[in-house]
Structure 1
């Protein structure tokens, strides 16, 4: 499994330097190919979607081998850069997390998301440092997007969450992070404060109440991720169609399906 070409990593990094990168989150090779065909400049994985597609719950429970197989399958069929959500790195051992990142590089990824969740700031810093060392050993430019869950988990008093996020951002930047992901952040005044002070490109997650893309771009946000919502919707649609079929054997494709069998087949044949 070859490391992604250097120009792919360079292109991905440049997408964070100006404008707003809209990242759709795939969960397997087929979903990634469809998303790429619609003009995506880069792709991301959703940890939840990948885990569900493999029959595991989200939450650092997916076997790393299954993750890397998925990454390799996606990079085989798409040409745009791929960044991979590795949750907390599937280990509390920073060196083991570094090996996961090395595996992502070998499978063709050019970036990762690595989260603090409910863990300590010190631990995520150690993981970032280990990941950067592992990438350096491979001579690869891995984009590390440090995710902090201060807003998503409601950590600390509401009036101090911007301050806490910025304190973490400074630590993560010093450890080697290339981007900052703050899911749950959606208030323009808070977004602007973090954009101004964090010193890292800011990534947000698409959620209800988030300002439109044009406003986010004007605030200086560099990246918005779709998250697990698309995968969740698709699994919901599968459940509805399966329920219909199991009830009365109805097998006619719904009119809103949108992509024909020949079109899907042709997409997968284009490499």
Structure 2
């Protein structure tokens, strides 16, 4: 990590010291630069958006996907590096389950992500296996410890997020809380609980967790605003693959109009090339 990236990483750590941080998710250099251009102080990557950009599925039970399923670690890290090179703001990496179950693989993944310029990263406890969708808790804790050790060995500023997918696989809220607190004790700086989107669940998590809570919005028609989330005590908000999925919705609608009707009305709401050029042009 060079001095400029190190300064960005420290700025990212500092952004987590107070308040409620909105961290939108990018999937390539262009999406990251556009988010930067409207004033966001940092961005995260989305494994979903990156996978879709390669024509691959994301998350789900990836052990069933076969050889054309989830992206491999080198491909994901190359894209991460493209994004960190394209912007002047910190980038947090969606590192999924660390690209392998064992602790050494997790440690290597985080070391490589830091080398690629990441200022933070998520580690989730989802196995991708329908029969046992979450890593056994003690092993999941060891994996968080391995990620923390890799961060410490790097000597770089870094925000480590422990993610539990308990709510996504229909486990209890109590289990999500137990796992979240265990990950914090193992060295996570923040806990991410996807599936928590209503005020009651979020309030329970904020009160029960021993550290900051990250929630993801935009995956459904959740009505809570940033002001309301901050009032509830949420410290970090991401949007996952929702922006990428919105754009793919427009792509699919345009493709169907062309294929089925031979008309071009989709173009009425496109951005002008000059507008995009303005967002992508470097300024002093």
Q: Matched residues in 2 for 1:11 and 1:269: separation?
A: 24
Aligned partners of 1:4 and 1:110 also within 8 Å: no
Q: Which runs of 5+ in 2 are unaligned?
A: 63-69, 127-132
* Aligned partner (choices 256, 261, 265) of residue 273 of structure 2: 261
* Corresponding residue number in structure 1 for 2:65: none
After TM superposition, the structure 1 = structure 2 runs for residues 152-171 of structure 1, keeping only pairs within 5 Å, are 152-156=168-172, 161=173, 163-171=174-182
Q: Matched residues in 2 for 1:176 and 1:129: separation?
A: 6
Q: Matched residues in 1 for 2:51 and 2:105: separation?
A: 20
Q: Matched residues in 2 for 1:164 and 1:253: separation?
A: 46
After TM superposition, the structure 1 = structure 2 runs for residues 83-232 of structure 1, keeping only pairs within 5 Å, are 83-117=92-126, 118-119=133-134, 120-156=136-172, 161=173, 163-206=174-217, 207-232=220-245
* Corresponding residue number in structure 1 for 2:22: 22
CA-to-partner distance for each residue in 1:7-26, whole Å, 9 max, x for gaps? 22222122222221111111
Aligned partners of 1:179 and 1:203 also within 8 Å: yes
Q: Return closer, same or farther for 1:187/1:65 CA change in 2, 3 Å cut-off.
A: same
- Is 1:80 the equivalent of 2:93? no
- Deviation at residue 76 of structure 1 after TM alignment: 1.4
Q: Matched residues in 1 for 2:253 and 2:30: separation?
A: 21
* Corresponding residue number in structure 2 for 1:64: 73
* Corresponding residue number in structure 1 for 2:282: 270
Give the ranges of 4+ consecutive aligned residues of structure 1 lying more than 4 Å apart after TM superposition.
Answer: 1-4, 247-253
- Deviation at residue 124 of structure 1 after TM alignment: 2.0
Q: Matched residues in 2 for 1:4 and 1:107: separation?
A: 13
- Deviation at residue 247 of structure 1 after TM alignment: 4.3
Give the stretch that moved more between structures: 108-117 or 164-173.
164-173
CA-to-partner distance for each residue in 1:108-152, whole Å, 9 max, x for gaps? 111111111222222221221111222222211221111112222
Give the stretch that moved more between structures: 57-66 or 169-178.
57-66
Q: Which runs of 5+ in 1 are unaligned?
A: none
Q: Return closer, same or farther for 1:46/1:4 CA change in 2, 3 Å cut-off.
A: farther
Aligned partners of 1:84 and 1:109 also within 8 Å: yes
Aligned partners of 2:196 and 2:215 also within 8 Å: yes
**Aligned partner of residue 191 in structure 2, secondary structure:** strand
Aligned partners of 1:42 and 1:81 also within 8 Å: yes
Q: Matched residues in 2 for 1:84 and 1:210: separation?
A: 27
Question: CA RMSD, aligned part only?
Answer: 2.1
After TM superposition, the structure 1 = structure 2 runs for residues 229-248 of structure 1, keeping only pairs within 5 Å, are 229-247=242-260
Structure 2 length as normaliser, TM-score?
Answer: 0.86
